[in-house]
Copies of this chain bind each other. A is one copy, B any other.
């Protein structure tokens, strides 16, 4: 495999710790995710696998994504379109998302001031912060002329 083999080893360890088994389907799914930088839904991954002649069932993709999420390999997110999306979490530090309402493009951002204010605000309320969602919806640079023509 050209994809970093250490990730597969790490996955194997994670599985073993839970009494789970390393199967060809699980490896294929993880490799497909590691090879992508995108925020993909289940079927994107499924079709990507199939286009590489790898046949896996949709149920197995969902089941594996759940394991990968728990193991910290994958981030599961929801941009409000009724489907979950998954992104390769390994190479990336925490970030949030700007989402273009026109073309679906996703721009990643982080802001330490915002992160700090979140901590501050939750402390004020004696609230123990576990995780957060911060999504900025709007029109990306490329879509602004197009959107203006439609009157957005």
List chain A positions with a Cβ less than 8 A from chain B. Answer: 78, 80, 98, 100-101, 107, 109, 111, 113-114, 117-118, 121-122, 125-141, 144, 147
Identify the closest chain B residue to A130 (Cβ).
Answer: B138
Number of copies: 2
Whether B126 and A141, one on each chain, are in contact in the complex, defined by CB atoms closer than 8 angstroms, is yes
Among B98, B127, B136, contact of A98 (Cβ-Cβ < 8 Å): B127
A138 with B122: CB separation less than 8 A: yes
How far is A23 from B147 in the complex, measured between Cα atoms in Å? 36
Given the known A-B contacts A80-B78, A127-B98, are A121 and B136 also in contact in the complex, defined by CB atoms under 8 Å? yes
Which residues of chain B are within 8 angstroms of A129 by Cβ–Cβ distance?
Answer: 136-138
Closest-CB distance, A81 to chain B (whole angstroms): 10
The smallest beta-carbon distance between A76 and chain B, in angstroms, is 10
Return chain B residues, CB-CB under 8 Å to A121: 98, 109, 111, 136
Q: Find out whether the CB atom of A136 lies under 8 angstroms from the CB atom of B127.
A: yes
